[in-house]
Amino acid sequence: MENGNGQKIKKGVLEAISSGSIKMRPRWYFVLHAVLAIAAISLLGMTLLYLVSLIFFLLRLSGVWFAPLFGFRGWYTFLISLPWLLILLTILFLFLLEIAGRRFPVVYRRPLLYSVVGIVAIAVAGGFALERVHMHDQLFSQARENTLPIGGELYRNFGMRHLRGVHQGAIIDTMNGGFTIQEANGKSYSVQVSQLTRRVPQRGMRMMIISTSTFQLNRGDGVVIYGPEDDGIIQAIGIQKILVLPFGPRFPHDPNGF
């Protein structure tokens, strides 16, 4: 019975080929399709990794990365300051990559949720690792100097935007009760510090209310300041000291720092 059905199917296929309703494709046709599919997946994957790493870089550059350390208001500032346009573009490329990958058994044989979660996990881990090699720091530095031939506007528009309530910069001067910082966009702000200003000396340490003498701030130090700004003066609610800034200026260490 099964042999008879097989013969009927074979006969039907041969008749369809003879009539021209089904066209036979040469082997190279399928090889070419596979190569193009792999190339498209590779391009989409690299673009996705670039976008994710760029988002991580912008969060670090702006200082928003540290905003949640400053409590509920910090979380609110973090959410409204995210580069949502880039995030939406990243989601688009994620789904395009999922659609392109459906041509291959390793993807289409698995539930959609599993493959999406897998792609997201790889993109986040890969994007974070790519950001740590500081590729974007170099590109941003070139963009600031108008020497980046492609993508300069992207880095300037996203990297130099002003965020409400969060300021990251280098200390360019110190004074009694405060200091002056310069941001990546070149703007300078006076920072006023009180006894209740919360400080985090290093990443990962618990936030607490401490005195201003807990750690020293010097010219050239990188800091993230959280607090309201009015007419160029920031009332510091919290201060996060950071080891490396993705931009200048750089100054010699001042032993008589604030």
Question: Of 81-90, 92-101, 181-190, where does mean pLDDT reach its minimum?
Answer: 181-190
Tokens of 163: 């965020």
Q: Which residue has the tokens 């050239």?
A: 220
How far apart, in whole angstroms, are the C-alpha atoms of residue 234 and residue 187? 13
Q: How much is the average pLDDT of 93-117?
A: 77
The alpha carbon of residue 18 and the mean position of all alpha carbons in its chain are separated, in whole angstroms, by: 56
Question: Of 17-26, 79-88, 161-170, 236-245, where does mean pLDDT reach its minimum?
Answer: 17-26
- pLDDT surpassing 90 at residue 52: yes
What strands, in cross-sheet order, belong to the sheet with 188-192?
208-209, 198-200, 238-242, 222-226, 166-175, 178-182, 188-192, 233-235, 229-230
How far apart, in whole angstroms, are the C-alpha atoms of residue 213 and residue 208? 14
How far apart, in whole angstroms, are the C-alpha atoms of residue 238 and residue 229? 13
Q: How much is the average pLDDT of 119-125?
A: 91
- Residue 190: phi, psi to the nearest 5? -90, 135
How far apart, in whole angstroms, are the C-alpha atoms of residue 124 and residue 148? 26
pLDDT at 252: 42
Question: Of 1-15, 52-66, 159-173, where does mean pLDDT reach its minimum?
Answer: 1-15
145 versus 204: the higher-pLDDT residue is: 145
pLDDT at 23: 65
The architecture CATH gives domain 165-242: Beta Barrel (2.40)
Location of each CATH 2.40.50.140 domain in the chain: 165-242
Highest mean pLDDT among 3-7, 47-51, 183-187: 47-51
Q: How much is the average pLDDT of 193-207?
A: 59
pLDDT band at residue 145 using 50, 70 and 90 as cut-offs? confident
The Cα angle at residue 46 between residues 116 and 128, in degrees rounded to 5? 75
Tokens of 46: 């690299």
How far apart, in whole angstroms, are the C-alpha atoms of residue 252 and residue 67? 28
